[in-house]
Structure formats: C-alpha cells, structure tokens
Structure 1
Amino acid sequence: MYANKFSRLVLGVYSRKTAAVCRVVHSAAGRSGYSWTAVCKQRTLWLQRSACLKSQHTVPCHISARSASQTTVDPNEVRRFQSLANKWWDEQGEFAALHAMNDLRVPFIRDNLLNVHRTCHPGKPLRELRILDVGCGGGLLTEPLGRLGATVLGIDPVGDSIGTAQLHSSADPDLRDRVSYLACTLEELSAEEEGGEEEQGAGQFDAIVASEVVEHLADLETFAFCCSHVLKPGGSLFITTINKTNLSYALGIVVAEQLLRIVPSGTHDWEKFISPEELERLLESNGFSVQSVQGMLYNPVSGAWSWTNSTAINYALHAVKVRGDPHTEQAEESSSHPEDHTAATHS
C-alpha cells in the first residue's frame, strides 16, 4: 500500500506545484501517524541555526592535512555501518538501492573521466588512471571501476567493511592487480606523504569518488581540503549525495526509512545533508571548479534510478581540481604585496 502511494508521489512530484506536493505528503503522513509539522521541524531548526551563525564574526580556519584537529569521521556513523558490514553484497538487502545506483554512477564517472583525459583503451577505458574510492564500504563501486581498467584504492574507517570488500574482490582474478583496500580515513591517507609514504600521498590520484558518503561525514571542510591534497592538478572529484530540502526529509527519511524501510532507520541525519549550492561553494574555496550537477531519482517500486532535471532529492556532482591549496596561495599573495594588505587593513 505504501509502495504504491510513494510511487504516485514520486512520479508526480516534479510536475506539480509545491503546494500540491505538500498536501499529498501531509495527507499520507497523517494516515501513517506523522505530521507535516514534524517533517519540517528539522529544516526550521537548521534555518534558525544558520541565521545565528551568519550573525557571528568567524575567523577562517586554515586546516593542515597533517595536523588537522578535526576529522571526517563521525563515531556514530562508524558504529552504524559496523553493524551492516557483512551485508554489503546482499543485492536484495539494506544496500539494494546502492547496487542499483551503479547503473547511473558508473557511466557518470567513466564518461566524465574520458572527457577530461581523452584516453583510448578499448575494453578498459579507464586504464592507466588511479582512482580513490572514499568511504568504499564493501566495494560496491570500487569493483566496477576496476573492471573498467582503473587502478582503484578503496578506503573506509570501518575495518569489517574493508574485510568484506577484500574477500569479495579476491574471488575475481581480473581485480587482483587493479583493486586494493585500506582501513583508514581520508585525512590519514592525505598525511601519509609527510610520513614518507609517497606512493599514497599528495597528488597521486587522477580521480576521487565519494558516493553517498558526504552526508555521513563529521567535517566537510576537512574532506574538501584532503581531496584537493591527494588529487593531481586537473584531477576529478565525483560526489553523489542528498540535497537538504523539506522534500528530501519527507521522502528520504520519513518515507524511505520509517515507512517503506528501503534503508535501515537512522541511516541518515538530515542535518548533514547539503545543497548543491553549498557544496559548490565549499569545493571552489578548496581549489575545485564544478563542471556539472545532475539530479537523480529512485523509484522504490521498480528499484531503478534515473536522471532528472531536479536536484531536490538526490544529485551527482563532478568537479575538477584547478589549482593547489587556496589557503597557501592566499598567504603567498598577501606576503608578495604587503603594502596592499596594510592598506586594506587600515581602510
């Protein structure tokens, strides 16, 4: 019953006015014990919090990849995924939607990389490219990228998930020389060069993939900084995540988690969702240029994903590293023109 109800909502959501959508969700929620007020509560709290933060004077925090006091890892998220570590390859289980997402995200990554690098390797189009899969889980995206010819390193802070990924990939001889895994964080990998491990250090990857990851991180500024650090100049960053809207809360959490149980309850925290505009500003401040943003839509009835013009719920983003550490460049520019800096200070 709920599946049919949700399907009608999804198919009509982009062609109806916002008010009509609100009425539909309100009606469905009322019959299921939820209220539209509850659905929007977190959104309202976030807007109030944002307004307070904007009114305060803040000092820029220049994060060092080596001695960052902040971390991308949220202990609560690690515990949650620890309990699911042995379920990654159950295509009908908790990660069924992620398995289905490969139909969109693998071609999205492949085609954009080919546009950037103009390589020609029939059968293995990503050959000679090094890709870092951040938050790889059980290797659901790592493996297909390896089969396309790329050398892929998957990292995840959940050791049991890495164990699952290693065990699964070991059964495929085609992946043994192309796919490897490490149980570590992005900031730990970023710091390895300064510890003497140049192989995995700064500027070593042609691309970074963070699919359905950023909405689980504790600090996106550290994430963006470290991504820039380990990418080669001209390297690509691919992100798929969830927008921060009332609709994403209603469908992504209330319906998907609490009603239809498409994903386990508590998987997502709406406060961690980020809009494409916010994500683009964050990446640009860390030396990236966003090339494309595309909306994604999941149909729980068919279990399939499709591209859409709306980014109101899920979206995919491709960005390219265009320069080095923006904080270092800013400091160098200020030191090279001290008189300008002094004049600006007195003005």
Structure 2
Amino acid sequence: MSTINADPAEIQKFSELAHRWWDPTSEFRPLHEINPLRLEWINQRIPLAGKNIIDVGCGGGILAESMAKKGATVTGIDLSDKALKVADLHSLESGVSVRYKKIPAEEMAEMEAGQFDVVTCMEMLEHVPDPASIIRACTRMVKPGGHVFFSTLNRNVKSYLFAIIGAEYVLQLLPKGTHDYAKFITPAELTQDVRNAGLELHAMRGLSYNPLTKMYSLNNDTSVNYMIACTKPA
C-alpha cells in the first residue's frame, strides 16, 4: 500500500485535543463559531436535505452533524482515532446519525468513487503533505454534476500575522503550533489544483474575524481564511 497522505504529528496534535472538540469554549471555539456561516453558505449553493455527503477530515464531527441535521445522509472520514471516537459518542448523545470511518481520502475514493452528491473538505488541506492528492480524491468521490467545497488559509504576510501571531499567540483563539505557515495555500494555487483535478470553480468567499466584536463574517476578503465552491462536470 502507498504511503498515507498525512502528517503523524498533525494527527497527534488534534488527537490530544479531541476530548475538547465539542466544548464551545475550548481551543475549538473558532470552529463552533464559523460552522453556522460555512453551513449556510454550502446549503444556499446546494440544499443539503436528501443529499448523500462526505466530510473529509471531519475531526470531531461539528460540520458533519450540522449537515445531517439539515436532512442529509452524512459520512465523516478522518485518521484520528480519538477524534472519531468523540464524533461517534456525540452522534449517539445528540441522536444525529452520521457514519464515521477511519480511512484516508484516497482509499475512500477507490472504494466509493462517484457516490456522493456533495463533498466537503474544510480546514484540512493546510495540514497534509500533498493537498493536491486530497483534492483529486474528493473529485473522484463526488458524482458527475455534484458539488465540492474546500476551505483553507491563504499564504501572505497578513495571514501569517492574523492566523498564527494573532490567533495562536495574541488572542489565543487556537493552540500554539496549530498551523504551519509554509503549508498555507494561495487562492491561485488552490484554483490551479481544483482545475487540474477536473473540477470547475464557481465561487470563492472570505471568512474574517473581528477581534473587537469577536464575531466572524463571510465577505469578499480572501486574504486570510477562504472557502471555494466547485462542481464536477456532468
């Protein structure tokens, strides 16, 4: 079998925090706060009710569960045992059914190619050695005519100051060492990767944090956090 496209240190980092995943006051507070914005943006582009969806790099299941609450059939995949156990337990407690699997995206793409109406891959590409491989796997998993969503961090001076210095050190919104600036991905690079994988890019949105109001908002500023919406040609 080929080498798994994952950094063991990254998996370990998130595994150590897994028990805090569903605590909205923990290190995962930013995920809880941006999740409604991401969810609504996705749901506006493709109503999720009745859709078969896979969330790649699902972690503790925050986005996966919220999509299931919209009436979707959701699968979440990740490589962290601890995060998946937390996700499973929360699913049982909340009564929101999600299928969770520990499997690399590339392997899942071999097993369930063309099976999903929607593929989401949020805040993951900047944590893997080969993001283009993940993008190709997501493309294989989605049905022709289906939708794929990615979110990641731009690579520039502002994103370094905001996402690392600001978020990890000054405001302490995230644990120190959460991000590696060298792995950040510019919109131009991500656009190239999705097109190389055979996807069509339809929309891009920025996600900004205002430290004064402590609120996140969706806008056209893609200089730090951003999301893209793609489709696979029918």
Is 1:188 paired with 2:103? no
Match of 1:144 among 58, 63, 66: 66
Match of 1:315 among 211, 226, 230: 226
Distance 1:149 1:303 in 2: 30
Counterpart code for 2:33 = A
Distance 2:143 2:123 in 1: 23
Q: TM-score, normalised by structure 2?
A: 0.96
Distance 1:300 1:137 in 2: 26
Shift of 1:190: 1.6
Distance 1:304 1:132 in 2: 28
Q: TM-score, normalised by structure 1?
A: 0.65
Match of 1:259 among 161, 170, 174: 170
Q: 1:19-98 residue pairs with structure 2 within 5 A?
A: 69=2, 71-98=4-31
8 Å contact kept, 1:77–1:216: yes
Match of 1:205 in 2: 116
Distance 2:5 2:24 in 1: 28
Match of 1:299 among 203, 206, 210: 210
Give a deviation string over 1:33-88, Cα, whole Å, max 9, x none. xxxxxxxxxxxxxxxxxxxxxxxxxxxxxxxxxx6x45431111011111111110
Match of 1:103 among 36, 45, 65: 36
8 Å contact kept, 1:100–1:303: no
SS in 2 for 1:182: strand
Distance 2:18 2:144 in 1: 34
Give the number of the structure whose residues are more often strand, by fraction: 2
Give the number of the structure whose residues are more often helix, by fraction: 1
Structure 2: which 5+ runs fail to align?
Answer: none
Give a deviation string over 1:262-318, Cα, whole Å, max 9, x none. 100000001111011110111001110000001110123433211222211111110
Give a deviation string over 1:194-236, Cα, whole Å, max 9, x none. xxxxxxx110001111111111111112111111111100111
Give a deviation string over 1:114-142, Cα, whole Å, max 9, x none. 3xxxxxxxxxxx23211101111111111
8 Å contact kept, 1:103–1:305: no
Q: 1:109-120 residue pairs with structure 2 within 5 A?
A: 109-114=42-47
Distance 1:217 1:321 in 2: 23
8 Å contact kept, 1:101–1:304: no
Give a deviation string over 1:162-201, Cα, whole Å, max 9, x none. 000010011233x23xx11112211121222xxxxxxxx1
Of structures 1 and 2, the larger Rg is shown by 1
Q: 1:225-304 residue pairs with structure 2 within 5 A?
A: 225-304=136-215
Going from structure 1 to structure 2, the CA distance change for 1:299 and 1:72 (only over 3 Å counts) comes to: farther
Is 1:132 paired with 2:54? yes
Distance 1:72 1:319 in 2: 22
* More displaced 10-residue stretch of structure 1: 182-191 or 241-250: 182-191
Match of 1:223 in 2: 134
Is 1:159 paired with 2:59? no
Going from structure 1 to structure 2, the CA distance change for 1:304 and 1:104 (only over 3 Å counts) comes to: same
8 Å contact kept, 1:127–1:148: yes
RMSD across aligned positions (CA): 1.4
Distance 2:213 2:24 in 1: 14
Structure 1: which 5+ runs fail to align?
Answer: 1-66, 115-125, 193-200, 324-347
Distance 1:155 1:113 in 2: 21
Count of residue correspondences: 234
Q: Which runs of 4+ in 1 moved over 6 A?
A: none
SS in 2 for 1:233: strand
Give a deviation string over 1:87-132, Cα, whole Å, max 9, x none. 1011011000100001210001101113xxxxxxxxxxx2321110
